[in-house]
Amino acid sequence: MSVHSEDASSLRTDLEKHAIEQVLQGAEWSTAAEIGARRAPGAANSHGTISRWRDAGAVFGIDHGGRKIYPAYVFDASLQPLPAVRRVLEVFKDYEPFRIAAWFESTNAFLGGRRPREVIGTDPDAVVAAAREHAMGPVHGQCYAFYPRRPAPFNRHRGAWVVEVLDDMGAGIAPGSI
C-alpha cells in the first residue's frame, strides 16, 4: 500500500468516526427495550412493538455497540411513530439505516438550512418533499424557484410556499407547493 492510499484510508476512517459521532450526538437514541418500558411500564414484551414497527417500515434504527438504537425524532410525544417517517423511509427504501440517520442529521437547503429531524414533527410534508428531492438528486438543466404563496383568498393550495421547476430558459414546467 502506498503512503498516499494509507493517508486516504486514515482520512476516510477519521471522517466516518466523525460522522458517527455527529449522528449520535444530534439526537436522543434509545433501545427498543428502553422505549417499550417508557411506553408500557411493566409490559412483558414492551420492546416487541418497536421491532414490529421497524419491520413494517414505520421507524428505523441503527446498530451501535451491539444493540439496535432508535432516534427520538421518529416518535411523537406518546411514543407512537410519526406517520411522515414511514413516508421518508419509503423514499429511502434502498438506503442503509445509518445513511438515513445521517440525512436526518444534516442541514438541508430545501428546509431552509434546518435539519430534517428538527422539522419532521412540525412540518412533515416539507421533510417528505426534502427526502424526495434528495433521492432524486440534481437534475441537469433545471432549477427551482421558491416564492411565498399569495394570501387568501388567492391561496387555493395548502402550502405556504410555491415551488416551481424551471427549465433552462426560466419557464415554469412543474408548479407545486410545500
pLDDT tens digit sequence for 24-64: 898 999 999 999 999 888 777 878 899 999 999 999 999 99
Span 117-133, pLDDT tens digits: 999 999 999 999 999 99
Each domain of the chain, given as residue ranges in start order, spans: 3-137, 141-178
Residue 5: band (very low, low, confident or very high) from pLDDT cuts 50, 70, 90: low
Position 48 scores a pLDDT of 87
**Alpha-carbon distance values, 55 to 50, 66, 117, 142, 174 (Å):** 9, 19, 21, 37, 35
Position 47 scores a pLDDT of 80
Sign (positive/negative) of CA torsion 56, 69, 77, 122? negative
Instruction: Give yes or no for a contact between 60 and 101, defined as CB atoms under 8 angstroms apart.
Output: yes
